[in-house]
Amino acid sequence: MNVREAAASLLETASEREPLSAEWADLDVDTAYAIQDEALRQRRARGETLVGVKLGLTSRAKQQRMGIDAPLLAWLTDAMVLPAGVPVPPLIHPRAEPELVFVMGRRLAGPGVTAATALAAVDRVHGGIEVIDSRYADYRFTLPDAVADNGSSAYFSVGPVGVPPSSLDLSLEAALLEVDGQIVDTATGAAVLGHPAEALALAANVLAARGLALEPGWLVLTGGMTDAVPLRGTSRVAAHFSHLGSLTLAT
């Protein structure tokens, strides 16, 4: 299997499959990012537009659950945007997680980006929910598998309240995750690498190593604040933020 075939195969996957590493034993992270980039090329060829990036595995809760201790980066396209009121489409085994979402005001290029310089390039911050859906059976994978699978991306929704990041302390911004009327988890922005701006700086610096930058208008999902909650058999998931409002998805 080569990079193009792996990307096409992951894009077509509509039910649980074996990890890519089961058939590609020496799959490494650099090759996995090449597969991710090729999958983005194939998505664009079928009409999707790049709208930003997401970070995954930026909280201890997520890293411990997945048994992987390094964050990852993945692409976001317009086909992954779930507008308010649109139910989550059928997926393999979806899970939801609350995230802090930046909208870039200026281009941000690494290397050497710090949390402070990263925040200065942000136009506003929103609360959001990401719906992930690993193509791999039981969410069992290595870091290269998850990178090749575009960080388990499926859909995401951005809440209606957007504010300048200087107007609040994002490390203290809290999210309550509610499923069918029950609060199932809580966290603050500090769960995301100590401060979500650290995740933003990481994204800029990781992209710089690939000759890329965060572009004006891009969305940056900074990673699940809590562990992701399974949606199968549920009807509704909501995230309530302390200053960034609430959003609800029908599941």
Residue 177 interacting partner from ligand 0L1, Mg ion, none (CB closer than 5 to 8 Å by kind): none
> With binding defined as CB under 5 A, does residue 130 bind Mg ion?
yes
- Of the two residues 165 and 224, which places its CB atom closer to ligand 0L1 in the complex? 224
Q: How far apart are CA 179 and CA 16, in angstroms?
A: 24
> With binding defined as CB under 6 A, does residue 132 bind ligand 0L1?
yes
- Of the two residues 66 and 201, which places its CB atom closer to ligand 0L1 in the complex? 66
Of the candidate spans 7-15, 36-44, 79-87, 129-137, the one that interacts with Mg ion by CB under 5 A turns out to be 129-137
Which residue has the closest beta carbon to ligand 0L1? Answer: 56
- Of the two residues 68 and 212, which places its CB atom closer to ligand 0L1 in the complex? 68
What b/e string do you get for 9-20 counting C-beta neighbours within 10 Å, with b at 16 or more?
bbbeeeeebebb
CA-based nearest residue to 38, from 79, 78, 9, 70? 9
Region class of 135: left (phi > 0), else alpha (psi between -120 and 50), else beta: alpha
| Residue recorded with tokens 């933020």 | 241
> With binding defined as CB under 6 A, does residue 139 bind ligand 0L1?
yes
> With binding defined as CB under 6 A, does residue 66 bind ligand 0L1?
yes
> With binding defined as CB under 6 A, does residue 130 bind ligand 0L1?
yes
Report, in Å, the least distance between residue 5 CB and Mg ion: 27
- 172 φ, ψ (degrees, to nearest 5): -95, -10
DSSP secondary structure, 189-224, as one string: GGGBTTSHHHHHHHHHHHHHTTT--BPTT-EEE---
> With binding defined as CB under 6 A, does residue 57 bind ligand 0L1?
yes
